[in-house]
Amino acid sequence: MDMDPVLASDTHNPVDVHEVSDRAKPKRGREGPAIDRLFRACTKLGASDLHLKANAPPRFRLGGDIRVAHEPAMTTEEIEDIMFEVISDKQKKYFMEHGALDFAHQVPGQDRFRVNMFRQRGLTSVAARRVTAEIRTFEELGVPPSLRQIAKFHQGLVLLAGITGSGKSTTIAAMINEINENRACHIVTVEDPIEYLFEDKKAFINQREIGIDVADFHAALKYLMREDPDVVLVGEMRDRETFEAAMHASETGHLVFGTIHASSASQTITRILDLFPEEARALVRQSLMFNLKAVVCQKLLPSIHPSRSRIPCCEIMIVNAVIRKLIAEERDADIGAVLKSASKDGMQDFTEAIYRLITDEYLDMKLALEVAPNPDELKMRLKGINTGAGGIIG
């Protein structure tokens, strides 16, 4: 595999991309690790992901679609050879024992990649997400301006929700960098793996990577308060212990950022409560009432605007007295109705977010109706009819 990748627009129509891919040599010592050739091609193509699977050619995700590289299929031994070249012996042992490994790899002078290597049907596969070296601003990302206000909080819990690949990490990096540029404070991140590399600006930042700097999340969070942080990035809220540690940090005067897999603000509350047994949920609700500051649910949608290929679509909940009342009264289902009428406070639901992307000519109407939670409501909004929360707080 010493030639450049050739992509196919689909599995049947090969397209030569020699001109956009570096002619890297796969030998360490001359051009670096062999995998860097495919990673550099990923960057040159503007692809978001690289996929490797035993007995299949490499694949790239471009504009949301998987495209096949017209190269020979790779055996599981070839995949392992090029991946083992960029990980430690300890990480190799972990992969062989557990059948999966998360790590990050930096291509010198180019982008960083978040890599998951895993076994399937006894063979090795790889999914690598490209993380651009540059941390983009809110304006460059195209996210709502209220995210800048959220980044100004000094205490509490801020959650970024969405599915894998929805741009949560990119948005949260922009928020951390906003704090970095404007506040003299100490930021500590606990990540698995580290994705964006921050440079100290007005703040100073310590980034801890699971498996390299600390054994696991629980160990990292155990010692977190001894590190005197002002702002904390916990990463994904995967279990009860991680969420409890994040809540404790927010209760003791810290600003805590985390991510969670949820499709809406109200579902985020449900997902958090599901981490706990029934008898503990009343206490969790009380803690959320006082410490949850904002939930940003994000989708990443194809854009028709010439300036960007994809655009974030954000539902934003900023916790105010009304939201706190709904959480306390277990009326999570009513949160969406409040978001519809609170745009003056920087909040919006997905219908309003989609409406704004249409009017700003970022989103195709057909796609908008497909992804809208309620297409009929979106059609009414486009006709100038805006449904409010009228009397929701009774």
Helix axes of 240-251 and 281-291: crossing angle, nearest 10 degrees: 40
pLDDT at 388: 62
Q: Which range (12-21, 169-178, 191-200, 369-378) has the least confidence?
A: 12-21
Over residues 39-62, mean pLDDT = 94
Q: Is the pLDDT of residue 260 over 50?
A: yes
pLDDT at 326: 96
Smallest CA-to-CA distance from 103 within 42, 192, 208 is with 192
Q: Is the pLDDT of residue 1 over 90?
A: no
Whether pTM > 0.85 for this model: the answer is no
Grade residue 22 by pLDDT with cuts at 50, 70 and 90.
very low
pLDDT at 5: 62
Q: In what order do the strands lie in the sheet with 59-62?
A: 65-68, 59-62, 49-53, 123-131, 112-120, 100-106
pLDDT at 219: 86
Helix, strand, coil shares, percent, the chain, to 5:
40, 25, 35
Helical spans, DSSP H, in 46-137? 76-84, 89-98
What does the DSSP 8-state code read for residue 363? S
What are the backbone angles phi and psi of residue 250, rounded to the nearest 5°? -70, -35
Q: Is the pLDDT of residue 18 over 60?
A: no
Grade residue 21 by pLDDT with cuts at 50, 70 and 90.
very low
Q: Is the pLDDT of residue 50 over 50?
A: yes
pLDDT at 218: 82
Q: Is the pLDDT of residue 29 over 60?
A: no
pLDDT at 222: 83
Tens-place pLDDT, residues 339-356: 988 887 899 999 999 999
pLDDT at 345: 86
Over residues 244-271, mean pLDDT = 93
Structural domains in the chain? 6-131 (3.30.450.90), 138-382 (3.40.50.300)
pLDDT at 223: 87
CB 265 within 8 A of CB 336: yes
pLDDT at 17: 37
Q: Is the pLDDT of residue 360 over 50?
A: yes
Query: Tokens in use for 391?
Result: 């009397």
Compute the distance between CA of residue 277 and CA of residue 257 in angstroms, rounded to an integer. 24
Over residues 210-223, mean pLDDT = 84
pLDDT at 394: 54
